[in-house]
Structure 1
């Protein structure tokens, strides 16, 4: 952890905490901070998925929500024109995150004219995902221009790349994946030029295998395009689909960590919690360990490392939970330990020397938050909790990457 890890403390947050302390002291401050931490669950985000019949809209919607066609609440997958009206699909972990399967352009109910976007309720969508399983047609390009005219963002997604690769491999003597991808994108861009549309990225994906081709790049670019609150809401709602999403989760979770550490220290100083001895009893700290345990459980879920997530993953990949546990050998201590999360967290706190934790807190923090010492009964409380959480996040990120590699290996073996 470097000395720049607190650059994300905003002046507005500092000022809000100062005002509360000046007016109310410690009373109610943890609730104020916790409310801030929960804001992502109340941020609405609506994503429109549009394309002609059969391009894989439903499959993509299920994929990005971490579902299969057999799961409860999944989008119906069919070869016919299954979408007659805009259809809403909520994310299973966040009801404020909604994907809309929109009817294609040019049907009797949704003709290719100025009424289309109005009929599908364009104003409620944060951005559009335009899907095609071939070249983007004149209808797709017309829709893109209409979306642009309304100042909305959109992304071109070329689906069923696995089919294109398989066809090319059987028909071309000098088969090359990179050449096929380049050809597909060039064909799309040629259509954009012919339709007088500015050149934009084309994301080649396979909704059944999120670790191939441009799925990761698509997720990264979507996240970058969003304002901070909506970006954080999307990151924390998504399952760890790709390594890029995992890294984005780490960024957001580290921002949360300082707030959790502050709350834990405040709760520890303001209650009769049992002190936790460090350095053989020479130093003691007081923290709200229940809160820290709850946060670590949240991290495990975010990284897909809890028992339920690993069980679901094993079912989807036709493997066993033991297969993924074997992949985690040599990983973090918490995943290797047979202890409860509570026991592990307390032991981890005890193993951290308070002086060492304090060294990791930049001097700038004391300048920005001169009241931390008074709030948490000494900066050692805050520093120890914060360092423990940051170390946990770093360890679990590595574990999540190991699981991703194991998924890639398992699914590649199935294909072979």
Structure 2
């Protein structure tokens, strides 16, 4: 995914900062920037999950929210007509991100007619996920037609692929996973053509296995399709389900880092912050280390690397937590360190961050130099904070990838 496709610090935002400074000086500026970050992080997003009864809608909703059927707040999973009414499920990390489990079309209460989408409240959904399982039906075609007629975006998801593979393996002499996938997708595309529907990708997934088939591709394509603010909100709400989601988080967090660095640089102008001496005391930087530490703690949670996330992963996979910690032994310094995040960052500044940051002030930060030089006393604070955060994001992304690799290996071993 192209980094440039995500929200950046816009010229309008810089102009807004200038206007605030002209009218109020530095007073309250960090709060204004923080409010902006919170605003785009919590943009409402409603997702409709639709399809015939029994195709796995509830299982998918639990999966994308990082829950199992046994967890509090999970969608009820069953083999019958489990969903009687449109049912709302909030994401545990963001209450404004809502997944709607819609009743299967063609049930007695929700017959296949023009009233269906109106009765399930189609207008409030940002997009639809149309799920189908072992065969493409006339109801799938009808639903797709109805959604297209409303000019709403939708993604066609073929569920329970593991079941299809297991069945084919037992019934076919020349079994090949790639050939089975190709055949399934061709069948779906043939039905699209026969139903005079617009051709679109077919995502083959198994909700219990996020690391194979097309689960990662589905997540990535959903993110690309959304407006910038809704995309950011979804990325920061998702658990690090796949490597694709992890990379998407990195893109959004790096955009966020610019704003946090600016807040830290401005806070550094306050007399309450103690300068950190560098280069033998010849120069110093003033940073809001507590602010930066909280931001790094946020990154650890986003990448699933904090202790609580690792324990939860351990519990869900019946794998000792030490197994995942062992995967991080050769990871970034902060994961190997026993220091608090705040202490780690202070030592990082003293050892390398400010000196390296001044050498490599990013071109994108030069837009702030007139503001920072005039109001904060120099670009060093801002550049140092930005350098530290970007380095932490890059390191933690690699750590998250290591945990994902370990998870894939652990689950593969269980299957074997």
The size of the alignment, in residue pairs, is 413
Q: Would you say 1:84 and 2:89 are equivalent positions?
A: no
1:262 corresponds in structure 2 to 262
Offset of 1:353 from its aligned partner?
5.0
Provide the secondary structure at the position in 2 that maps to 1:352: helix
1:373 corresponds in structure 2 to 373
- Alpha carbons 2:235, 2:249 under 8 Å: kept: yes
Provide the secondary structure at the position in 2 that maps to 1:38: helix
Q: Aligned equivalents of 1:193 and 1:365: distance in 2?
A: 50
Q: Aligned equivalents of 2:361 and 2:247: distance in 1?
A: 23
Q: Would you say 1:404 and 2:408 are equivalent positions?
A: no
Q: Deviations over 1:326-367 (max 9, x none)?
A: 011211011111111111111112122534212221356334
Provide the secondary structure at the position in 1 that maps to 2:48: strand
Unaligned runs of 5+ in 1: none
Q: Deviations over 1:239-265 (max 9, x none)?
A: 001101000000000001111111111
- Alpha carbons 2:268, 2:376 under 8 Å: kept: yes
Question: How has the CA–CA distance of structure 1 residues 227 and 37 changed in structure 2, closer, same or farther, with 3 Å as cutoff?
Answer: same
Provide the secondary structure at the position in 1 that maps to 2:129: strand
2:335 corresponds in structure 1 to 335
- Alpha carbons 1:278, 1:352 under 8 Å: kept: no
Question: How has the CA–CA distance of structure 1 residues 331 and 144 changed in structure 2, closer, same or farther, with 3 Å as cutoff?
Answer: same
Q: Aligned equivalents of 1:399 and 1:355: distance in 2?
A: 25
Question: Residues 36-75 of structure 1 correspond to what in structure 2 (within 5 A)?
Answer: 36-75=36-75
- Alpha carbons 2:353, 2:388 under 8 Å: kept: no
1:200 corresponds in structure 2 to 200
Question: Residues 374-393 of structure 1 correspond to what in structure 2 (within 5 A)?
Answer: 374-393=374-393
2:96 corresponds in structure 1 to 96
Question: How has the CA–CA distance of structure 1 residues 369 and 145 changed in structure 2, closer, same or farther, with 3 Å as cutoff?
Answer: farther
- Alpha carbons 1:265, 1:375 under 8 Å: kept: no
TM-score, with length taken from structure 2: 0.97
Provide the secondary structure at the position in 1 that maps to 2:27: coil
- CA RMSD of superposed structures (Å): 1.6
Question: How has the CA–CA distance of structure 1 residues 364 and 305 changed in structure 2, closer, same or farther, with 3 Å as cutoff?
Answer: closer
Deviates more, 1:123-132 or 1:187-196: 187-196
Q: Aligned equivalents of 1:327 and 1:70: distance in 2?
A: 28
1:275 corresponds in structure 2 to 275
2:250 corresponds in structure 1 to 250
1:394 corresponds in structure 2 to 394
1:137 corresponds in structure 2 to 137
Q: Would you say 1:362 and 2:356 are equivalent positions?
A: no
- Alpha carbons 2:7, 2:228 under 8 Å: kept: no
Provide the secondary structure at the position in 1 that maps to 2:113: coil
- Alpha carbons 1:157, 1:204 under 8 Å: kept: yes
Offset of 1:280 from its aligned partner?
2.4
Q: Aligned equivalents of 2:306 and 2:85: distance in 1?
A: 37
Offset of 1:271 from its aligned partner?
3.0
- Alpha carbons 2:353, 2:387 under 8 Å: kept: no
Unaligned runs of 5+ in 2: none
Offset of 1:135 from its aligned partner?
2.4
2:111 corresponds in structure 1 to 111
Offset of 1:274 from its aligned partner?
1.1
Question: How has the CA–CA distance of structure 1 residues 65 and 26 changed in structure 2, closer, same or farther, with 3 Å as cutoff?
Answer: same
Offset of 1:377 from its aligned partner?
2.4
Offset of 1:9 from its aligned partner?
2.9
Q: Extract structure 1 runs of 4+ deviating beyond 6 A.
A: none
2:237 corresponds in structure 1 to 237
Q: Deviations over 1:216-260 (max 9, x none)?
A: 000000000000000000000000011010000000000011111
Q: Aligned equivalents of 2:193 and 2:230: distance in 1?
A: 32
- Alpha carbons 2:250, 2:397 under 8 Å: kept: yes
TM-score, with length taken from structure 1: 0.97
Deviates more, 1:164-173 or 1:304-313: 164-173
Q: Aligned equivalents of 1:413 and 1:375: distance in 2?
A: 58
2:25 corresponds in structure 1 to 25
Deviates more, 1:255-264 or 1:7-16: 7-16
Offset of 1:40 from its aligned partner?
3.0
Q: Aligned equivalents of 1:79 and 1:367: distance in 2?
A: 58
Q: Aligned equivalents of 2:82 and 2:44: distance in 1?
A: 26
- Alpha carbons 1:128, 1:153 under 8 Å: kept: yes
Q: Would you say 1:284 and 2:284 are equivalent positions?
A: yes
